[in-house]
Every structure is written in C-alpha cells, then in structure tokens.
Amino acid sequence: MNPRVAWDASHGEFLISDYYYFSKLKLYAERAGIKLKEVHEFNELWNYDVVIFNYPEVSFREKEVERILEESKSIPVVFLAYYSNIDGVAENINRVVSKAGIVVENGVIIDERRNAGNPMFPIAEWRGCEVVMPCCAPVRGGIPLIVGKDVFAAKRENLVVFGTCVFWDNISIDLKDNRKLAISIFKGDI
C-alpha cells in the first residue's frame, strides 16, 4: 500500500512544497511511493492515512483540538515543534497534545559529546538506528520514541510529537538514518 499523507497547510506550517527546505524529503517520499499532499482545509485532512503538522504557527481552535484527538485514535497524527517555543509553535502544539499527556518543553537539547559536529545537532537512538535531531526541544509524557541525552519524540496511541521539525530538512535528511525515520513516519510506522 502506498500511504496517502496530508501535510497540513492551514496553520501556517513550513510546507513540503518549499524547495529550499524540503525538496530532498519530497523526492525521497515520491521514490518510496508515498503520496504527499499539502492540504489547505482542516476538515479534508482526515481523508488521508497520515496527517503531518510541521511547525504550526497558527493556534488550533477548540473544535480542531477535539477533532485531532478523536482522529488520532484511528490514524497517525504527527506534530513537529522546534526548540525554545520559537514563534509560539510549542505552545500551539501543546494546546492539542497536552490533553493526551504529552508536552513539548520550552528548552533545547544540547549534547557536547554525541553530536553530528555541533552540540545543537545531537545524535539519538530510534529502533536501533542513529538519527540526528537538530534544534530539538525536550518532549515529556507518552511513550518515548527517540532518546539520547533526553527524549526527542514521544507518542500516545497514534499521536506522535517531535521536539524538532528540522531533522528532515535539506540539511539534515541525509545525516545518519534520518531519511529512514522520515519514510517510516510517512508510512505511519512510528
């Protein structure tokens, strides 16, 4: 099955069509048979196999929060934040995920010893693979998915929360096993 992935475009996200940031990710997804679509209408998101909220800068309305929590019972819903609540993104994400017991903290994970050439690019573990998680806020609650010096991503049922949105940008996608992680997310295997 080739998964159909909705990349939300209704909350001010960085978009998959942004060539500068995501041209490699888009290409790798296409090669893996993943059907990625930017979706501009919130209610249309739920017609897809996986839903991505990549750095949502616009706050979620209460009805949207309820719908996300309900839909995440049956399909993967993935939130991607950034360190230190830049642009209020962690606050927007926490408005949703805190109701499921997960929180993106206001901070940054720095690892002086285990990194990809820069302490802001810490290396972490995911399913026996190494991934680089740049500019990542710590994530609390839920089941830890990606761990290293701290928790980089966690989930509760199908609701998945990452403390970073740049592990799959054009700079980081080819580091360690980041591409493998990205494709697994799109396939709903996270």
Question: What DSSP string runs through 68-111?
Answer: HHHHTTTS-EEEE--GGGGGGHHHHHHHHHGGGT-EE-SS----
Q: Which residues pair with 104 in a beta bridge?
A: 139
Residue 125 scores a pLDDT above 90: yes
Alpha-carbon gap, residue 149 to 125, rounded angstroms: 10
CATH of the domain at 55: 3.40.50.880
- List the domain range (segments joined by +) for residue 111: 4-186
For the stretch 13-55, pLDDT in tens is 989 999 999 999 999 999 999 999 999 999 999 999 999 999 9
For the stretch 59-101, pLDDT in tens is 999 999 999 999 999 999 999 999 999 899 999 999 999 999 9
* CB atoms near residue 90 (< 10 Å): 25
The reported pTM is 0.97
Q: Quote the pLDDT of residue 1.
A: 73
Q: Quote the pLDDT of residue 106.
A: 95
Residue 3 scores a pLDDT above 80: yes
The structural domain count of the chain equals 1
